[in-house]
Structure 1
Amino acid sequence: MQNAGIIVQLVVRKLALRCLFHDYFEEAKHFSTRIMLKPIDDPHVDLIATVAGPLNHKPEDKIIGNAQFRWQSDVQDPHTFIDLFVSSTEPILMMRSCAYHIKSGFGVFGIFPVLLRQRLFSEDYGVMGFRYGSPNLSVGATVIPFSHKHELPKNAWLVSKIGRLTAGVQYEPQFGSKDGARYKNLANWSCAIGYGLGSGSPLSPSFNFGLELAKNSEFIASFYQHVVVQRRGLLSVCRARIEDIADKNQFLQYHRVDDNESSNNIQDSTFQVAASWQANKNFLLKGKVGPLSSSIALAFKSWWKPSFTFSISAIRDRIKGETAVGFGFNVENIREASYQRADPNYVMLTPNKEHLAEGIHWKIGKRPVLQSDVKSGNFEGMPKELRPLDRIL
């Protein structure tokens, strides 16, 4: 809620892009561990604990530890919950709460830092908000109830979806001393438009294209492609993203529009390309390339109970001319199996690659290879991880 343009970014599927660019890419010369517990006896609660720090620990370096306890009233409804966040850094204790009524589409939420060493900013005293959500519309605002500056609102957004086209605008006052000046200042506004195809399920191929103008100072264009190939019950998943190119002769752009003169400085105008490939249920390979740095990550996941994931990433800093590695380790004790083999009667939308294996003849039967329940939107018989995200915009 403190990041500018966060609602508008979600419009152009920034959530999927963020996962592509950040998951399993550990910080250089650092490690991170994460433990997630979901008790079988009480499916309403979750507990997540993390520890992270530098590999070469020095007295001045800090090992950061966090823990989050979450309770939600309905296992199938993630929109109504209460969680407590405890950290060795600021804030020491923070509470978040959200109540959402699915039938009416109205909800209220709040973030309250309970323990802080110092309260320097208005949001340190808490942030509250309300929203309305439906499959084609999302509107809401946040306020700081204990602010002495009467900052109303802290931010507000409006997002609408028509078919495959989604557009949104967000207001976040940071410039201008009076209300009238703040509304007229374009630096307080962000907008985005996105075009996407696909159900949102990892089993369904999809793509999306987005344009974003943030704070009237940064123009961002991005393209995301998701491809799935079925191979005898196993899935090969490939994701790619291209974003942030600043050159008027190039298609995808990231450019500061408030500069008086054009700049060739790589810090002001840059691009990034990322891709991931999941060969099977155990191995995932990811990479991203840009003028400033390049990274590659390999993750291995076991499906025992509890399950664990080990990841290693290598980062090449082109500015410093250094290469470093980072490590990550996750442990999950979940209530139900996260991995299930595909139904033998289930066929993907995309053709399989069995015809490429010369001399081997598979008996596929009379099942059509280009139709499946994904096309009809029937996801009830699939694991939760393979279903689309919530239909509430």
Structure 2
Amino acid sequence: MGNWMNKEKEPPPPMVLVPPLFDFPPLPARTRMLESSYNLLFGKLALKCLFEDYFEEARHFSTRIMLKPLDDPHVDLIATVTGPFDNKHEEKVVGNAQFRWQSDVDDPHTFMDVFVSNSNHVLQMRSCAYYPRYGFGAFGILPLLLNKRESSEDYGLMGFRYGSANLSFGTTLMPFAYEFPKIAWLVSKMGRLTVGVQYEPLYGSTDGQKYKNPMNWSCAIGYGVGSGSPLSPSFNFGLELAQNSQFIASFYQHVVVQRRVKNPIEEKEIVGITNYIDFGFELKTRVDDTKTSNSIPDSIFQVAASWQANKNFLLKGKVGSLSSTVALAFKSWWNPSFTFSISATRDHTVGTTACGFGISVENLREASYQRADPNFVMLTPTKEHLAEGILWKMGERPMLQSDVNAGNFDGIPRELRPLGKIL
């Protein structure tokens, strides 16, 4: 009894702090069943977030409120207001709101939302139903009120799709138009390789059969590694020939690194913190003989990178042939969370620099500050590695590694799990 009382306690195991990603899952992932899979794969969704999020338009502001009631998590509301600092060019302040109902809290693929705005689409309703057991889904977009209806698309869209882990195909059509389809796509995944083709009849043909015009076809091939969770590194490289006139090469990489914690507030067993680093580039160049205006360059190249140091600070920057932008975002993880961002844009064509600001309030994504145990485990869990300083020898990587590399996502919040196994 006495020996048991006097027995020394085992020191707590070393742990690495795992902060939640600023915005995961991304908001466009909630409505991806309304889009062509071709437009979202090949790293396109990740690059869109990297090149656009927190890069506010110069001399403009944006505010966004994203809230859901505590009593009913199946519904939420997103309201945004954007506009210029001044009204020299008589720009209109745009405000809109979206009310959404989602059938399953953990599955965003079956939903209905109502969109209101002071712009052209005054009132619009969208709906999607997807059945994971069979892989089939149907969706529709119905503009109820418009300032004017000029095309068949203004009277509504509907579509059908099939999605599995390795295959996706579908079509979107306009019920009140004689032309079919508006978009049709086929995407297949074979291991780490993804190939796809999309038909969009934007251009006519000499014999009236638009599918014979190569300008209406796009094809892409991509190579990707990673699970899709922010806790796992990922790598995507894609090549695309869009409308037989534009060649697009893109690359995106998400890196998960650990660095030593130098914070006296943390406990002694906290030896490190996880950081997220994202990098991507995109090259767009024309491959046909079509002449464009002087204001539109034939080739556009841009590079972007972001670094999330902890749960509160995010630094981003992008450099392009037309402009360069740097952005800093601060996030407080209250309930609801509060995010403030500021960006500075340098216009290379006129040689001016201007700033933009953004404010966001949200409680949709409920990610919390996570510890390494049980999400992170020791590579070699021996008594030797419990000693302070052993884990951080000069020039060596930390001896802590995530078990999500083996596909184990059961012990982490759903916000940090992969987006899903639907291609």
TM-score (norm 2): 0.82
Match of 1:249 in 2: none
Residue 47 of structure 1 is aligned with which of 58, 77, 84? Answer: 77
Separation in 2 of the partners of 1:66 and 1:265? 31
Match of 1:282 in 2: 312
5+ residue gaps, structure 1? 245-253, 352-358
Q: Following TM superposition, by how much is the alpha carbon of 1:55 offset from its aligned partner in structure 2, in angstroms? A: 0.8
Q: Following TM superposition, by how much is the alpha carbon of 1:264 offset from its aligned partner in structure 2, in angstroms? A: 11
Match of 1:173 in 2: 201
Separation in 1 of the partners of 2:216 and 2:378? 43
Alignment of 1:20-59 (within 5 A): 20-58=50-88
Q: Following TM superposition, by how much is the alpha carbon of 1:350 offset from its aligned partner in structure 2, in angstroms? A: 11
Find the structure with the greater CA-based Rg. 2
Match of 2:321 in 1: 291
Q: Is the counterpart of residue 218 in structure 1 residue 218 in structure 2?
A: no
Deviates more, 1:177-186 or 1:100-109: 177-186
Q: Is the counterpart of residue 340 in structure 1 residue 369 in structure 2?
A: yes
Q: Once the two structures are aligned, what percentage of the paired residues are identical?
A: 66
Residue 158 of structure 1 is aligned with which of 186, 207, 212? Answer: 186
Q: Residue deviations 1:18-54, cap 9 Å, x none?
A: 0000000000000000000111100110100000100
8 A contact 1:233–1:341 mirrored in 2: no
Shift of the 86–264 alpha-carbon distance from structure 1 to 2, 3 Å rule, reads closer
8 A contact 1:7–1:170 mirrored in 2: no
Q: Residue deviations 1:56-108, cap 9 Å, x none?
A: 13582311100000001111111110000000101000000001111000000
5+ residue gaps, structure 2? 1-30, 260-270, 381-386, 393-397
Residue 82 of structure 1 is aligned with which of 99, 109, 112? Answer: 112
8 A contact 2:80–2:95 mirrored in 1: yes
8 A contact 2:292–2:298 mirrored in 1: no
Match of 1:243 in 2: 282
- The 3-state SS of whatever aligns with 2:115 is strand
8 A contact 1:9–1:192 mirrored in 2: no
Q: Is the counterpart of residue 207 in structure 1 residue 235 in structure 2?
A: yes
Shift of the 264–45 alpha-carbon distance from structure 1 to 2, 3 Å rule, reads closer
List structure 1 segments (4+ residues) > 4 angstroms apart after TM superposition: 177-180, 260-266, 348-351
Q: Is the counterpart of residue 116 in structure 1 residue 137 in structure 2?
A: no
Separation in 2 of the partners of 1:107 and 1:54? 40
Q: Following TM superposition, by how much is the alpha carbon of 1:266 offset from its aligned partner in structure 2, in angstroms? A: 7.6
Structure 2 counterpart of 1:175, one-letter code: Y
Structure 1 counterpart of 2:211, one-letter code: Y
- The 3-state SS of whatever aligns with 1:312 is strand
- The 3-state SS of whatever aligns with 1:92 is strand
Match of 2:266 in 1: none
Give the number of equivalent residue pairs: 368
Separation in 1 of the partners of 2:75 and 2:212? 45
Q: Following TM superposition, by how much is the alpha carbon of 1:235 offset from its aligned partner in structure 2, in angstroms? A: 1.7
Shift of the 164–120 alpha-carbon distance from structure 1 to 2, 3 Å rule, reads same
- The 3-state SS of whatever aligns with 1:270 is strand
Separation in 1 of the partners of 2:164 and 2:252? 25
Separation in 1 of the partners of 2:208 and 2:379? 53
8 A contact 1:79–1:98 mirrored in 2: yes
Structure 1 counterpart of 2:184, one-letter code: A
Name which structure has the greater RCO, CA cutoff 8 Å, separation 6+.
Answer: 2
Structure 2 counterpart of 1:92, one-letter code: V
8 A contact 1:11–1:167 mirrored in 2: no
Q: Residue deviations 1:89-134, cap 9 Å, x none?
A: 0100000000111100000000110000110011000000000000
